Amino acid sequence: MFLDYASITPVDSKVEEEMRKVQKKFWANPSSLHTEGEEAKTLLEEARINIARVLRCRGSELFFTSGGTESLNIAILGVLKSQGQFFQGSPLKTLAPKGDPLILPHIIVGAIEHPAVLEPIKFLLKNKEVEVSFIYPDRSGRINPESIKKEIKENTILVIVQHANNEIGTIEPIQKISRIIKEFKQKNNFKYPYFLVDASQSALYEDVSLERLGADLLVLDGIKIYGPRGMGLLAVKHGVSISPIVFGGGQEGGLRSGTENVAGAVGLAKALEIAMKMREKESLRLTRLRDYSITKIIKEIPNASLNGGLENRLPNNINVCFGSGPRGLPLKDFAPKGSPQSNPLDSEFLVIKLDTLGFAVSAASACHTLSLENGSYVIESLGRSECASSSLRITLGRDSKKSDLDKFISALKKVIK
Amino acid sequence: MFLDYASITPVDSKVEEEMRKVQKKFWANPSSLHTEGEEAKTLLEEARINIARVLRCRGSELFFTSGGTESLNIAILGVLKSQGQFFQGSPLKTLAPKGDPLILPHIIVGAIEHPAVLEPIKFLLKNKEVEVSFIYPDRSGRINPESIKKEIKENTILVIVQHANNEIGTIEPIQKISRIIKEFKQKNNFKYPYFLVDASQSALYEDVSLERLGADLLVLDGIKIYGPRGMGLLAVKHGVSISPIVFGGGQEGGLRSGTENVAGAVGLAKALEIAMKMREKESLRLTRLRDYSITKIIKEIPNASLNGGLENRLPNNINVCFGSGPRGLPLKDFAPKGSPQSNPLDSEFLVIKLDTLGFAVSAASACHTLSLENGSYVIESLGRSECASSSLRITLGRDSKKSDLDKFISALKKVIK
């Protein structure tokens, strides 16, 4: 039983069918001048317009990429790259202490963002190209908009907050943050900071339109919305300065070179369209299922506690800490050499044990399975370091049913006992 | 009738079927710890091993990307990035004139490479991060290995030559160039230069194994080999220093973050396997068809001449210059304002005219359709500037038949008359 829908979703059968049709008939290169190329181009642009309708923006503000990671990297590295001249030629330069001609651009970023945000920022930090303020959430996982307000200054070029967290499902107060940024810009008549919102995890359950969220840059990923693999989206509002990070034939308005994946674009648009149609009903259904499961787990398993708040939480996210046992110690460090023993509440141990019983869940997120030795940095950031290595993420999807969850909780109780 | 297979190929039906099967059953995230994730991971690694067998290298030397453009950008920008310390700390530093502490890394690159090579290099040049030697081919399109030998020096870090050109199909003397580079490295006991070979265009018709070509870095693209869209490959020999250009979950050995496209990887392996099986027979068949067509076109159309040599040419490439008419002038500049008249031999005009008759061919390549105003830089580089804006690329594929080519040539004669 698959209960790891936050890591990936299957491709919707309607999306798959649509893509197959496109792939069969309209496989030409959309940059070609002939009819075959024009037809492919038309489909590509139709897909773009269909997505623009959902995101309530213009088609020319949308750029197809190979996934969420690439979208986020273009957004962060591309905005940084494009502003070089701005800060060098700006009045800010005169603010710098004498003999220090360089003011580094400043980024404000949530501490529990996805690695596809934190890693490019670490890279920029290492190269001394930016100054960064990491904003820690409260115990429920929420970022306080006021703590962002405090950090915004004249050289802030980018504020990055995810719409919903991938591990604990917390939905962040994006609209409030957006308002604060807009006020700062208006008051100072500044072009920056831009607001980058990663909506990869929220698009199935929330209205992720640029208009509603007030984002300057927005990221979506096909794999998270029952859509195609290797397809992501970056929305960039008109007027935002951004440079490409990869160079070539100049496709996607020069921001993302490489032959366009037409069937992928059509599939992404279809997946988003289906998600929009199902959103309200599915959100309600999964919220009920989620709350039923959380209540049951916490009631029936001693010391179990929820990571992240119950309010402002994605309908499909359950993340539970199982409390006792040696804390913060990964499996292999804890077990004596050559010994088969291990921490019975270690996240990885639980995942593997549940897997043998036929249940697929996750320790933290799939995106840093390899670096789990130190446990989840997200749960650590909540001030619950005792839970960082003894928690499970259970995420629901379109196939999840109450009877399944009952079976899962029974298995969980056996494993934890 | 599609005669533009160099711009893109359809997905082979066996590839499509294999991908569909994988997508249906093994859609989980290969970075997950559970059985579903492990199964996806196994398929991904099997695909990698299957490709390694064709390329005669190790699986750990292969990295899946979103296409040829991304692969080439990682290769160029990634090698540049990783060597920063090498040149800064190297004995070369002491060779620099006093007061000039910086020796720029030096790149040698063919002048008729694809935009996905030339554009990142232009970007580096603009930023003054490299010194570049552009190597021009002879009139047949061939790069003289000796001209590369002359340019290699102590700070050369990268030599880039495509296996076959995308516009005129010229197959370059990769093995000879590789030998020259190896000799230089051995003689001086140098780690650099690395040899980067773009084999995107040649993989259907040539043995593109790393071993045979003697490349340190090799690039393939799914769309050129009847394979999946949005899937490319970068081969990096063990020992080559290279840094990622995009950051995130650390997939693909940290070189290319982003959730892996498992079905895409399986499809790419399958496409390469099929290409290998068909290579010999299909090369022979298409070479005959190509030579038949070239002979007929040149015989029957006055002033027609072949761009690029007939020897060392991809079996599927025909590129013909139609000679007379105002040269080098793009359509819109040539026509008097408001006039429907135009250069009857302008490449774009010919493409569009042939398209109305049902034949899909290309003016230069699809990758710079938007910048065709100045004609083809490839044909220009051959010393045939009079042909840069009055040539057509006709590229054959698995569906191309002699009777089709006869029909095409009849249409061509009508259009040119």
Q: What is the ipTM of this complex?
A: 0.91
Asked if the Cβ–Cβ distance from A231 to B230 is below 8 Å, we say yes
What pLDDT sits at residue B276?
A: 97
Average pLDDT over residues A19-24: 96
Whether residue A339 is predicted with pLDDT greater than 60 in this model: the reply is no
Distance from CA of A188 to the nearest CA of B (A): 32
pLDDT tens column, B58-78: 999 999 999 999 999 999 999
User: HEC states along chain A?
Assistant: CECECCCCCCCCHHHHHHHHHHHHHCCCCCCCCCHHHHHHHHHHHHHHHHHHHHHCCCHHHEEEECCHHHHHHHHHHHHHHHCHHHHHHCCHHHHCCCCCCCCCCEEEEECCCCHHHHHHHHHHHHCCCCEEEEECCCCCCCCCHHHHHHHCCCCEEEEECCCECCCCCEECCHHHHHHHHHHHHHHHCCCCCEEEEECCCCCCCCCCCHHHHCCCEEEEEHHHCCCCCCCEEEEECCCCCCCCCCCCCCCHHHCCCCCCCHHHHHHHHHHHHHHHHHHHHHHHHHHHHHHHHHHHHHHHCCCCEECCCCCCECCCEEEEECCCCCCCCCHHHHCCCCCCCCCCCCHHHHHHHHHHCCCECECCCHHHHHHHHHCCHHHHHCCCHHHCCCEEEEECCCCCCHHHHHHHHHHHHHHHC
Of B66, B221, B359, the CB nearest to A230: B66
Taking residue B192's Cβ as centre, other Cβ atoms within 10 Å add up to 25
* Residue carrying the six token digits 């202490």: A97
Residues within 8 A of A (CB atoms), B 85-144 only = 114-116, 119-120, 122-123
- The pLDDT score that the predictor gives to residue A101 is 54
pLDDT on residue A139: 95
Task: Name the active-site residue from B57, B321, B367, B387.
Answer: B367
Q: Is A243 on the interface with B (CB under 8 A)?
A: no
**Residues contacting residue B25 through CB under 8 Å, at least 6 positions apart:** none
Check if A253 contacts B (Cβ < 8 Å). Answer: no
What phi and psi values does residue A50 have, to the nearest 5 degrees? -60, -40
Does residue B374 carry a pLDDT above 70? no
Residue intervals in chain B for CATH 3.40.640.10: 13-274
pLDDT for A374: 67
Binary contact (A37, B11; C-beta < 8 A): no
For residue A346, the model assigns a pLDDT of 87
Task: Tell if the CB–CB gap between A264 and B229 is shorter than 8 Å.
Answer: yes
Domain with residues A13-274, CATH architecture: 3-Layer(aba) Sandwich (3.40)
| A34 near B CB under 8 A | yes
pLDDT for residue B126 is more than 70: yes
Interval B146-151 mean pLDDT: 98
B29 and A73 in contact by Cβ < 8 A? no
B224 vs chain A: nearest CA distance in angstroms? 11
Residues in B touching A28 (Cβ below 8 Å): 2, 4, 7-8, 360
A170 touches chain B (CB under 8 A): no
**Test mutation, A18, A44, A229, chain B, max B CBs within 10 A:** A229
Q: Look-up: residue for tokens 């001209």?
A: B147
Q: Which residues contact A285 (CB under 8 A, 6 or more apart)?
A: A315
Tokens of B269: 């392996």
pLDDT of residue B330: 42
The lowest-confidence range among A7-11, A86-90, A361-365, B144-148 is A86-90
Which residues of B are less than 8 Å from A246 in CB distance? Answer: 69-70, 73, 120, 245
CB pairs under 8 A between A and B: 238
- From the list A249, A352, A370, which residue is nearest B115 (CB)? A249
Check whether A250 has a pLDDT greater than 60. Answer: yes
Write out the E strands in B244-390. Answer: 305-306, 317-321
pLDDT tens across A160-195, in order? 999 999 999 999 999 999 999 999 999 999 999 999
Beta bridge partners of B321: B305, B391
Given a contact cutoff of 8 angstroms between Cβ atoms, the answer to whether A255 and A212 are in contact is no
The tokens of A313 are what? 């939480």
What is the per-residue pLDDT for B91?
Answer: 44
Helices (H), B189-261: 210-213
A84–B contact, CB cutoff 8 A? no
Cα separation, A277 vs A289, in Å, equals: 20
A391 to chain B, closest Cα gap in Å: 14
Percent of chain A's residues with pLDDT above 90: 83
In this structure, the number of other CB atoms found within 10 A of the CB of residue B69 comes to 29
Given a cut of 80, whether residue A221 has pLDDT beyond it is: yes
Chain A residue at shortest CA distance from B36 = A360
pLDDT for the residue B373 = 58
pLDDT at position B365: 66
Residue type, A33: L
Position B375 pLDDT exceeds 90: no
Q: Do B33 and A257 touch (CB under 8 A)?
A: no
Q: Is A28 in contact with B7 (Cβ distance < 8 A)?
A: yes
Amino acid B367: pLDDT? 56
Confirm whether B321 is a catalytic residue. Answer: no
- Position A366 scores a pLDDT of 61
B70 touches chain A (CB under 8 A): yes
CA distance A189 to chain B (A): 30
Q: Report the share of chain A in percent with pLDDT over 70.
A: 88
Task: Determine the pLDDT at residue B89.
Answer: 42
Q: Where in chain B is the domain with CATH 3.90.1150.10?
A: 279-416
Q: At what angle do helices A262-300 and A35-55 cross, to 10 degrees?
A: 30
The whole-number pLDDT of residue A83 equals 80
Rg (CA), chain A: 22
A8-22, A82-96, B211-225, B282-296, range with the lowest pLDDT? A82-96
- Subunit contact B229:A114, Cβ cutoff 8 A: no
Q: What mean pLDDT, rounded, does chain B reach?
A: 90
Mean pLDDT of the A123-138 span: 94
B87 has pLDDT over 60: no
Residues of A in contact with B69 (CB under 8 A): 246, 248-249, 257-259
Confidence category of residue B370, pLDDT binned at 50, 70, 90? very low
For residue B5, the chain A residue with the least C-alpha distance is A28
Q: How far is CA B335 from CA B329, B348, B351, in A?
A: 9, 13, 17
All residues of chain B having their beta carbon less than 8 Å from the beta carbon of residue A9 are 27
Q: What gap in Å lies between CA A383 and CA A134, rounded to an integer?
A: 15
Cβ–Cβ below 8 Å for A73 and B361: no
- Give the residue with greater pLDDT, B268 vs A341: B268
Q: What is the pLDDT of residue A323?
A: 79
pLDDT of residue B232: 98
**pLDDT number for residue B45:** 98
Would you give the DSSP letter of residue B15?
H
- Per-residue pLDDT band for B417 (boundaries 50, 70, 90) equals confident
- Model confidence band, residue A94 (pLDDT cutoffs 50, 70, 90): very low
Q: Which of B19, B33, B371 to mutate to test the interface with A (most CBs of A within 10 A)?
A: B33
CATH number of this structure's domain A279-410: 3.90.1150.10
Say whether B259 and A229 touch across the interface (CB within 8 A): yes
Under CATH, which number does the domain B279-416 receive? Answer: 3.90.1150.10
Q: What tokens does A94 get?
A: 């005169």
Mutate to test the interface with B, among A21, A43, A246 (most CBs of B within 10 A): A246
Q: Is the pLDDT of residue A285 over 50?
A: yes
**b/e per residue, B320-336, with b = 16+ CB within 10 A?**
bbbbebebebbbeebbe
Q: State yes or no: cis peptide before B193, omega within 30 of 0.
A: yes
Q: What is the pLDDT of residue B83?
A: 80
Q: How many angstroms separate the CA of residue B188 from the nearest CA in chain A? A: 32
Residues in A touching B33 (Cβ below 8 Å) = 348, 351-352, 355, 362-363, 369
Q: Is B348 at the interface with chain A, CB within 8 A?
A: yes
The mean pLDDT value for A16-42 works out to 95
Question: Does the structure show a pLDDT above 90 at A234?
Answer: yes
pTM, 2 dp: 0.92
**At B98, is the pLDDT very low, low, confident or very high (cuts 50, 70, 90)?**
low
Q: Which residue, A96, A99, A187, is CA-closest to A149?
A: A187
- Substitution target in B14, B66, B119, B347 with the highest count of A β-carbons within 10 Å is B66
Q: Scanning every residue of chain B, which has its alpha carbon at the shortest distance from the alpha carbon of A1?
A: B36
Task: State the residue for tokens 């399944």.
Answer: A404
